[in-house]
């Protein structure tokens, strides 16, 4: 589904990702673990198409398409989703209007008709309920006045409604108490299917107790230095990054 | 130059003698005053951002009727009546009095001065050259009087059309009078072709005790036009005045709202949205004058300027010594699309009472790149994302428009305006 080959990313003159390769197949859940500054978030944002980052060499293929040739919204149309570490507040735009515009934009990209308002409301209510989100929050402005946990939960509701093929979740576990963490983990697990894939980006092993990955990668200084099964996460937690790498 | 202007406009004013019974003395006085002071100086504090070059450059001729009858736009939803002015003159055949005449008094301003000349011009305070010329050359306009207790539910639409009017000026005056507890909504629309005309209009209104006047303006003049508009409103006890001015057209547009709070618990909402394209100047001046205690006023202005567009807002609130317990808020926010766009803000509070709640805020910024990325990262294309953010930015003022059809039409124009910018923005990005 996703094939990254020898990817180099710079911000200004500084190289952040220094030759990273990764392949994710349908049905798989991968986790990239690493310390702050390892380049994890840069990688996630680049896959999603943020233009502050320069890909100096290498390639990203998604379902056989050159992702780097596509605009951010086109990547979403192809089936990509980025869960933000810091979801953005947008005063004046309601959650419902935002989600409905997003969903219909994706449907339009795929040549599908718009979803009716009634059908959409049913879908959103159902997904919000599954993630324990107060339906009243759907009417509020996007992330405005939301707590850290509420913002992450909102990201999960968006993911559930937009139903991506590949979800990249950047530090979705940070700043969550244990109850919120469990809810978010349930949301992620609900998205795991034979035809979807998940890429978790995280500091800690904590989330991985609830969402068990098939493959764990250790990222240090812009490279994946080690890959293994889910036990690698526990090993990292015990021994620290220096010893494992 | 001033001599030429005075000579030219004096001749025009003299030629109007006898056309409006009772107005000749008023016109003559205004003409004399115009001769003495001319147009506002470019360096005068209140006029720093308006570009009056076109007005100073020469005399605008009186308007002619167009050779080809203009197309009149469809009404925005239900209306109680529709008055159409073409090139500054009332066009009876294009207008529709509806049922309004049964509930209210409607008459041309030409019949107004003889009956109540003493009251006609007194609301027009602080007369500058532009207001003086409006009086000196006054000929047409509408007077609507709603008797006490009468509520007109549907909006009255006044459409102003300018066409084939290069080098010509229309000087219109509307008068709105609301009796105690009366209710009226007026939508003023301004459209025109690309000829370099001048639309100079004054609307004056009295809102009696407990009356409610909602006043919506949609300014879509042609891009060669100069549009100068002044609104003077007196609000009595428990009266309400709400104005929302949406300004998009004209090369140079100036809107002034002068609102006096004359009775306790009077309430004024003075809002505006400007969509300012390349090379346009949109200048707004408001003055809310709290004369008595316990009155409230609230202002929300949002301006959006594209490359090389210029917006300005000067918002003055005065609170007299006796106007205790006044609550006056004012919020101005400007968006500029790039570094060649310009936004100017001058909030001004003059407070002589000591027990008041007054606030003001002004911010100027660009569209939030993080928000655009967040929206596009959910599948929304960049043009739609920018439009959504501009709609959200202007929502504070637009949400207060209580007539759905008018609010929707205004919202729709934001979408159209943003879409018309999309190609250029993309082209410019590629160039960069």
Instruction: Report the residue of B377, B390, B394, B396 to disrupt the A interface, i.e. the one with the largest count of A CBs within 10 Å.
Output: B377
Q: Domain total for chain B?
A: 2
Averaging pLDDT over each range in A51-55, A130-134, B12-16, B20-24, which range is the top one? B12-16
**Cβ–Cβ contact A245 with B under 8 A:** no
Confidence of residue B116 (pLDDT cuts 50, 70, 90): low
Question: Taking CB atoms and an 8 Å limit, are A101 and B382 in contact across chains?
Answer: no
Q: Tell me which residue range forms the domain holding B400.
A: 372-432
Question: Taking CB atoms and an 8 Å limit, are A92 and B377 in contact across chains?
Answer: no
- First CA to last CA distance, chain B: 44
Question: Nearest CA to CA, how far is A191 from chain B (Å)?
Answer: 17
**Cβ–Cβ contact A164 with B under 8 A:** no
* Cβ B331 vs Cβ B302: under 8 Å: no
Confidence of residue B94 (pLDDT cuts 50, 70, 90): very high
Q: Are residues B247 and B378 in the same domain?
A: no
Give the mean model confidence (pLDDT) for residues B146-157: 97
**pLDDT at position B9 over 70:** yes
Would you state the pLDDT for residue B118?
Answer: 45
- Point out the residue among A77, A87, A97 whose CB comes nearest to the CB of B379: A77
Token pair, residue A190, equals 């609900």
Would you state the pLDDT for residue B117?
Answer: 44
**Cβ–Cβ contact A182 with B under 8 A:** no
Residue B331 placed within a domain: no
Question: Taking CB atoms and an 8 Å limit, are B375 and A90 in contact across chains?
Answer: yes
Question: Taking CB atoms and an 8 Å limit, are B371 and A102 in contact across chains?
Answer: no
**Cβ–Cβ contact A12 with B under 8 A:** no
Question: Taking CB atoms and an 8 Å limit, are A102 and B388 in contact across chains?
Answer: no
**Cβ–Cβ contact A79 with B under 8 A:** no
Q: Are residues B257 and B388 in the same domain?
A: no
Q: Which residues of B touch A94 (CB under 8 A)?
A: none
DSSP B73: P
State the Cα–Cα distance between residues B362 and B205, nearest whole angstrom.
Answer: 29
For A2-244, which CATH class? Answer: alpha beta
* Least confident stretch, B83-92, B123-132, B151-160, B191-200: B123-132
**Cβ–Cβ contact A111 with B under 8 A:** no
Query: Could you report the predicted ipTM of this complex, rounded to two decimals?
Result: 0.96
State the Cα–Cα distance between residues B383 and B364, nearest whole angstrom.
Answer: 21
Residue A161: closest CA among chain B residues belongs to which residue? Answer: B378
For residue A121, the surrounding DSSP H or E stretch is: helix A117-130
Give the mean model confidence (pLDDT) for residues B415-422: 85
Question: Taking CB atoms and an 8 Å limit, are B392 and A93 in contact across chains?
Answer: yes
Query: Alpha carbon of B413 to those of A108, B221, B247, B249: distances in Å?
Result: 23, 14, 11, 12
Q: Are residues B9 and B142 in the same domain?
A: yes
Question: Nearest CA to CA, how far is A204 from chain B (Å)?
Answer: 25
Dihedral pair phi/psi, residue B362, rounded to 5°: -140, 130
- Point out the residue among A88, A103, A109 whose CB comes nearest to the CB of B374: A88
Which of B233, B263, B293 is at the close of a domain? B263
Cβ-based burial of A118 (10 A; exposed 0-12, middle 13-18, buried ≥19): exposed
Confidence of residue A204 (pLDDT cuts 50, 70, 90): confident
Residue B51 placed within a domain: yes
State the Cα–Cα distance between residues B294 and B180, nearest whole angstrom.
Answer: 19
Residue B219 placed within a domain: yes
pTM: predicted TM-score of the whole model, two decimal places: 0.90
Residue B91 placed within a domain: yes
Q: Are residues B243 and B100 in the same domain?
A: yes
Where do the domains of chain A lie?
2-244
**Cβ–Cβ contact A98 with B under 8 A:** yes
Which of B199, B231, B263 is at the close of a domain? B263
């Amino acid at each position: 589904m996703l094939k990254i080959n020898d990817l180099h990313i710079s911000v200004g003159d500084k190289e952040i990702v220094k030759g990273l390769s990764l392949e994710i197949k349908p049905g798989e859940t991968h986790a990239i673990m690493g310390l702050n500054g390892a380049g994890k978030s840069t990688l996630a944002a680049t896959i999603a198409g943020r233009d502050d980052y320069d890909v100096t060499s290498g390639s990203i293929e998604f379902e056989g398409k050159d992702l780097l040739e596509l605009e951010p919204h086109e990547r979403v149309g192809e089936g990509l989703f980025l869960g933000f570490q810091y979801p953005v507040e947008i005063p004046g735009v309601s959650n419902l209007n935002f989600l409905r515009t997003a969903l219909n934009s994706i449907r339009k990209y795929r040549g599908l008709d718009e979803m009716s308002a009634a059908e959409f409301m049913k879908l959103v209510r159902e997904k919000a309920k599954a993630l324990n989100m107060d339906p009243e929050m759907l009417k509020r402005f996007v992330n405005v006045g939301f707590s850290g946990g509420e913002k992450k939960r909102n990201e999960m509701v968006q993911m559930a409604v937009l139903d991506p093929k590949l979800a990249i979740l950047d530090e979705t576990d940070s700043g969550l108490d244990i109850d919120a963490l469990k809810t978010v983990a349930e949301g992620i697990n609900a998205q795991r299917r034979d035809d979807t894939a998940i890429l978790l980006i995280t500091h800690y092993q904590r989330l991985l107790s609830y969402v068990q990955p098939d493959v764990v990668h250790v990222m240090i200084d812009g490279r994946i230095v080690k890959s293994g099964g889910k036990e690698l996460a526990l090993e990292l937690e015990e021994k620290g990054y220096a010893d494992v790498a | 130059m001033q001599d030429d202007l005075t000579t030219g406009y004096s001749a025009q004013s003299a030629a109007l003698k006898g056309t409006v019974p009772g107005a000749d003395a008023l016109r003559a006085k205004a003409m004399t005053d115009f001769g003495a002071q001319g147009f506002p100086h470019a360096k005068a504090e209140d006029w720093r951002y308006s570009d009056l070059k076109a007005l100073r450059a020469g005399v605008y001729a009186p308007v002619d009727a167009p050779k080809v009858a203009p197309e009149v736009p469809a009404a925005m939803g239900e209306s109680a009546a529709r008055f159409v002015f073409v090139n500054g003159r009332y066009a009876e055949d294009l207008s529709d009095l509806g049922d309004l005449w049964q509930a209210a008094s409607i008459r041309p301003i030409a019949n107004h001065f003889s009956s109540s000349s003493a009251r006609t011009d007194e609301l027009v305070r602080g007369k500058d050259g532009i207001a003086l010329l409006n009086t000196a050359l006054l000929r047409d306009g509408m007077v609507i009087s709603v008797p006490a207790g009468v509520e007109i539910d549907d909006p009255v639409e006044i459409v102003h059309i300018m066409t084939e009017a290069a080098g010509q000026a229309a000087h219109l005056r509307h008068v709105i009078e609301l009796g105690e507890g009366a209710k009226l909504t007026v939508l003023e629309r301004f459209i025109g072709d690309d000829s370099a005309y001048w639309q100079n209009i004054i609307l004056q209104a009295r809102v009696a005790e407990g009356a409610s006047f909602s006043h919506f303006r949609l300014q879509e003049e042609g891009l060669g036009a100069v549009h100068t508009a002044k609104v003077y409103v007196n609000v009595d006890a428990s009266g309400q005045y709400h104005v929302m001015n949406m300004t998009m057209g004209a090369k140079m547009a100036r809107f002034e709202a002068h609102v006096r709070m004359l009775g306790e618990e009077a309430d004024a909402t003075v809002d505006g949205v400007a969509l300012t394209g390349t090379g346009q100047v949109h200048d707004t001046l408001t003055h809310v004058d709290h004369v008595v205690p316990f009155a409230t006023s609230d202002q929300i202005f949002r301006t959006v300027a594209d490359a090389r567009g210029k917006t300005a807002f000067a918002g003055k609130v005065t609170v007299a010594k006796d106007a205790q317990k006044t609550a006056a808020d004012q919020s101005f926010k400007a968006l500029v699309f790039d570094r060649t766009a310009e936004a100017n803000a001058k909030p001004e509070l003059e407070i002589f009472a000591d027990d008041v709640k007054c606030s003001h805020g002004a911010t100027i910024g660009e569209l939030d790149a993080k928000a655009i990325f967040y929206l596009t990262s959910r599948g929304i294309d960049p043009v739609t994302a920018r439009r959504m953010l501009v709609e959200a930015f202007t929502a504070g003022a637009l949400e207060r428009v209580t007539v759905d059809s008018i609010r929707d039409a205004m919202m729709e124009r934001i979408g159209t305006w943003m879409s018309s910018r999309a190609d250029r923005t993309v082209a410019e990005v590629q160039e960069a």
